[in-house]
Amino acid sequence: MAIYSTNEFKSGLKVMLDNDPCAIIENEFVKPGKGQAFNRVKIRNLKTGRVIERTFKSGDSLESADVVDVEMQYLYNDGEFRHFMTPESFEQYQCDAKAVGDASKWLKDQDMCTVTLWNDAPLSVTPTNFVELTIVETDPGVRGDTSGGGGKPATLDTGAVVRVPLFVQQGEMIKVDTRTGEYISRVKE
């Protein structure tokens, strides 16, 4: 296992901290006059998603975390686990609800997504930035409305609820930004 010293800490580096895999967000070198240098580091715990600040003595080190992002295809949900597969090797992984987290509301069978593996076990699932989903339920819109203003809730085929403009109708397919949960556009078939 590789060891990283504070001066190698940079955004995105995956390290082990307090027995959890973490990702470095920010690393600031602080040196008081002629005194001991420190690194003030912002770190995200990849298990809990929580961001913490931690100070290290410059030159201290952390073990690397065996964390990799793998593109996978979402296969199906068996009720307890969701199943994913790497398209090249056909290797399958099952993720519990905790690992899937909020991604669950954007996952449609056959869609591609990113599964983060820690020691080859799924840690988290990130959907693609944009997904195309079908509206299964929404109130009929008011005639004449074009765009902007107001909007209405719409339930999608994955169970997610997003706000859509009034002119968008049930049965239509729409494009959604998964990072913000916002409606982007209608998808013309």
Partner 1 sequence: MSNAWQPTCSIESLRIRAKLLHKIRSYFSARDVLEVETPLLSHSCGTDPYLDFFTTTYKCGNQSNKLFLQTSPEFAMKRLLCAGSGSIYQICKAFRKGESGRFHNPEFTLLEWYRVGYNLDHLMADVEDLLVFLSEESLSLSTTEKYSYREVFLNLTGLDPFVFSLDQYSAFVIEHNQAEALTICGYDHSLWLDFIFSHYVQPSLGLSGFCLVYSYPATQSSLARINVENPTIVDRVEVFFKGVELGNGYYELQDAQEQSQRFDKEIYIRQETGRPLVVKDDRLISALHQGLPDCSGIAIGLDRLLMILTESASIDDVLSFSIQRA
Q: Please report, as ranges, the residues that interact with partner 1 according to CB under 8 A.
A: 7, 27-38, 40, 53-59
What span, in angstroms and rounded, lies between the C-alpha atoms of 20 and 119?
12
| CB of 41 or CB of 103, closer to partner 1 | 41
Q: Least distance to partner 1 from the beta carbon of 47, Å?
A: 19
What span, in angstroms and rounded, lies between the C-alpha atoms of 104 and 108?
9
Within 10 angstroms of residue 145's Cβ, the number of other Cβ atoms is 13
What is the per-residue burial (b if ≥16 Cβ within 10 Å, else e) of 20-43? bbbbbbebeeeeeeeeeebbebeb
Q: Least distance to partner 1 from the beta carbon of 33, Å?
A: 5
Q: Least distance to partner 1 from the beta carbon of 110, Å?
A: 40
Q: Least distance to partner 1 from the beta carbon of 171, Å?
A: 50
| CB of 7 or CB of 128, closer to partner 1 | 7
| CB of 58 or CB of 155, closer to partner 1 | 58
Write out the two tokens for 43: 């770190």
Stated as kind and residue range, the H or E segment containing 58 is: none
| CB of 26 or CB of 109, closer to partner 1 | 26
Q: Which residues contact 188 (CB under 8 A, 6 or more apart)?
A: none
| CB of 9 or CB of 93, closer to partner 1 | 9
Q: List 134's β-bridge partners, or say none.
A: 173
Q: Least distance to partner 1 from the beta carbon of 27, Å?
A: 8
